[in-house]
Chain A
Amino acid sequence: MLQDDDDANSSSETDSIDQNPNPNPTTSIDQSLDAIEGQLTSISLHSIPPIPQIISALPSDSHSQLQQATVAQNLEYIDTLPSDSHSQVEQVVESPGEVDMERGVVDNSVSRGQGVLWRNNSDVDVDVEGQGSPSSSGYAGGKGTSSSSSGISGSGIEEISGDDEVDRVEVVNRSASFGASVDSEWLPGKRHVNEDDASVSWRKRKKHFFILSHSGKPIYSRYGDEHRLAGFSATLQAIISFVENGGDRVKLVRAGKHQVVFLVKGPIYLVCISCTEEPHESLSEQLELLYGQMILILTKSINRCFEKNAKFDMTPLLGGTDAVFSSLIHSFSWNPATFLHAYSCLPLAYATRQAAGAILQDVAESGVLFAILMCKHKVISLVGAQKASLHPDDMLLLANFVMSSESFRTSESFSPICLPRYNPMAFLYTYVYYLDADTYLMLLTANPDAFHRLKDWRIRIEMVLLKSNVLNEAQRSMVDGGMHVEDLPVNPSPLSGSLSSHLGQPRPPLDSTDGCKTLLGGPAGLWHFIYRSIYLDQYVSSEFSSPVNTPKQQKRLFRAYQKLYTSMHDRELGPHKTQFRRDNNYVLLCWVTQDFELYAAFDPLADKVCFLL
């Protein structure tokens, strides 16, 4: 239900502009921001009171009184598995026929919640000890080192430790706000190419991603050179086919601190090995996105290559795309869009966005399928031709592809791109042009001969944007950032004094006389929030501010939201409305209605100080 946004046009018209035959996105974006503003005001007015009650009723053993998802408890149970328990493998298998995993167009919620997951310790027995996999030996001598070709064997897994240092790349340089300026310092691209499964450093990496073919040929590996991982790949393939032959499908294997998550997409297998403690549902969705990214580059017609030749080697077809995959994987640890399935808009004044939307609207009416103007990861304006809707996941993958392919910055380009949710079988042609260092225009069409027309359109668009000062406003908005929790009204009475920073106006000064000032963050100890509008496929998050200001803290909060999202969307446990969690770091609130989802983090000590006021 929550995710039935396949049909919801992200640029769909709202009631107020029904007479307009064409979708007008600018209205929805601004309405969204207004709605959020209203929502936040009302939260700070009305919704905070329940928190102190619950929090005060929260001696450490009272979890059951809260609407705490039991999933979380399951996860905790998993986390407390003895770390040496690599032999105690726990599996979640999926029975065949329940799910059609091939449907690349299914909604993510489907892939997450399909049917029933059950834990099965006996029926299906994955051999994680030793070299039991039937075909691994065939490849072992090839390129991998024979001693380690059993890759996923007990020893292999055990040696991957949660060494923070090794995963440094992921931890450093998180941007100041989810989805805003992504660290210019983080450079996409493959690292540690010289590693293979015999390297200690390789084994210590916290989160591995692999793509391989059903014949066991490596296609992509986050770390290390694909070809040197042939033996390891063959082992993964052996596990998957071993279980599949038994009529089941492996979805998850747990081994000590590690989760191994599998996703089968026809002839393509995707695997994530992680000790990051993310919910396996999240990892599984990340694999979906990874697959989507591959489809965006190649279309699903690559499956035909495997029909002709089962041993087809796909790596050459992905040449030069390491940066695309690595930056997507990087975004799994900072970009909320990767689990929210929504996109975020750049805060802009109404008139500014209106100007951008109007010209894009003209383009869309002239036969362009989608016209998208973005500033880094944030949308300035998006217009689709009639009936065409752009799925937020496609948007994420498209933006990731464009931003991580450096060559788009040097000159205008016209490139084939497939939108997996729109049509996984066919290429669209995308005109890409950077208007300045951060702002880029994408015009998508099905017509391969449209380049010169699109180029002419771009020239017109650029003129309009310059005339209406859109690019400068966008730059300013990037610098100012989005909403700041400090700006939320502290005192319930002045409803008028509202968030106006998204309109590009100066922020009101902090009320220094207020008692809450002693707290960091916003009113009532609010540290951070994310608001997601279900119908608009959009979300807004506040900027990070003290005390959530180190990359490490930001990543921790990100992971906490991710966990919260997963438990709120658990199919087995039914839809939840609210959830409170408290740990040493924050009190987390999640509130889900038909229209929106709100995730917020509060100061764990806030009840003592501010709620009493």
Chain B
Amino acid sequence: MGCASSLPDRTQGPGLLNNSDSSGALDPKNLKVKLVLLGDSGVGKSCIVLRFVRGQFDPSSKVTVGASFLSQTIALQDSTTVKFEIWDTAGQERYAALAPLYYRGAAIAVVVYDITNPDSFNKAQYWVKELQKHGSPDIVMALVGNKADLHEKREIQVQEGIDYAEKNGMFFIETSAKTADNINQLFEEIAKRLPRPSTSS
């Protein structure tokens, strides 16, 4: 992961948000990062976020319109805290053209697919390519295979996800928003991979 390298100029740090709250932006112990979720409609982006932020899972489908904004702070073992400012984008096709509005300046992109749906895996690859072209150059990317609880309906093998993620320098994990499996791990692992604005070394 190239992004582990230290960043000499932290104002260049991808999306380390210092726009709305300039006071704490440079505090290396309290990070604030912009995270965007991308992926086909129905793969479970909103469910992942709501599980992470509110610990809930609501099986009734609520198609996202435009994008929703949520935030959640986690504490890492080294006593730093990371505040995620999350853009949960709409996967519906009509919003695809507007995605840059939401991923612009994001430090982290979480690209989600549904392990039971090959189309959604193709769509995930589309988003990865788009982010490589137009996202922040230092963006941390994660590939997430969601709905891992539906293993009897699995269409995308774990290895396919691992291989694609590896090729593209992404972090990979399979999750289930329904059972909460790996949801917190996803965000913790991302947080660990974040470039730190200043290392005390």
Q: Is there an interface contact between A317 and B94, defined as CB atoms closer than 8 Å? A: yes
- Stretch from B62-70, B76-84, B129-137, B176-184 contacting the other chain: B62-70
A319 partner, pick from B60, B70, B88, B94, beta carbons under 8 A: B94
Q: How many of chain A's residues have a CB under 8 angstroms from any CB in B?
A: 26
* Interface, chain A (partner B; CB < 8 A): 297-298, 316-320, 405-417, 430, 448, 451-452, 455-456
In the complex, whether B146 has a CB less than 8 A from a CB of chain A is no
Closest to B20 in A: A452
Closest Cβ of chain B: how far from A318's Cβ, in Å? 8
Q: Scoring B residues 87 to 117 as 1 if CB is less than 8 Å from chain A, else 0, what string do you get? A: 0101011110010010000000000000000
In the complex, whether B120 has a CB less than 8 A from a CB of chain A is no
A406 vs B19: C-alpha distance when bound (angstroms): 30
A278 vs B67: C-alpha distance when bound (angstroms): 39
Chain A residues closer than 8 Å to B65, beta-carbon distance: 405, 407-408, 413, 415
Closest Cβ of chain A: how far from B69's Cβ, in Å? 5
Question: Which residues between 17 and 41 of chain B lie within 8 Å of chain A, taking CB atoms?
Answer: 19-20, 41
Q: Is there an interface contact between B93 and A410, defined as CB atoms closer than 8 Å? A: no
Q: Is there an interface contact between B64 and A407, defined as CB atoms closer than 8 Å? A: yes
Given contacts A316-B93, A320-B41, contact A415 B19 (CB under 8 A): no
Q: Is there an interface contact between B69 and A412, defined as CB atoms closer than 8 Å? A: yes
Q: Is there an interface contact between B63 and A413, defined as CB atoms closer than 8 Å? A: no
Q: Is there an interface contact between B20 and A319, defined as CB atoms closer than 8 Å? A: no
Closest Cβ of chain B: how far from A413's Cβ, in Å? 5
Q: Is there an interface contact between B68 and A410, defined as CB atoms closer than 8 Å? A: yes
A483 vs B188: C-alpha distance when bound (angstroms): 55
Closest to A318 in B: B94
Closest Cβ of chain B: how far from A444's Cβ, in Å? 12
A240 vs B19: C-alpha distance when bound (angstroms): 54
Closest to A451 in B: B69
Q: Is there an interface contact between B69 and A407, defined as CB atoms closer than 8 Å? A: no
A523 vs B95: C-alpha distance when bound (angstroms): 54
Closest Cβ of chain A: how far from B87's Cβ, in Å? 9
| Apart from A410-B50, A413-B65, A414-B67: 8 A-B pairs, beta carbons within 8 A | A317-B94, A319-B94, A320-B63, A406-B62, A411-B69, A412-B69, A412-B70, A416-B95
Chain A residues closer than 8 Å to B63, beta-carbon distance: 319-320, 405-407
Chain A residues closer than 8 Å to B41, beta-carbon distance: 319-320
In the complex, whether B46 has a CB less than 8 A from a CB of chain A is yes
Closest Cβ of chain A: how far from B157's Cβ, in Å? 28
Given contacts A317-B93, A319-B92, contact A410 B62 (CB under 8 A): yes
Closest to A408 in B: B65
Chain A residues closer than 8 Å to B62, beta-carbon distance: 406-407, 409-410
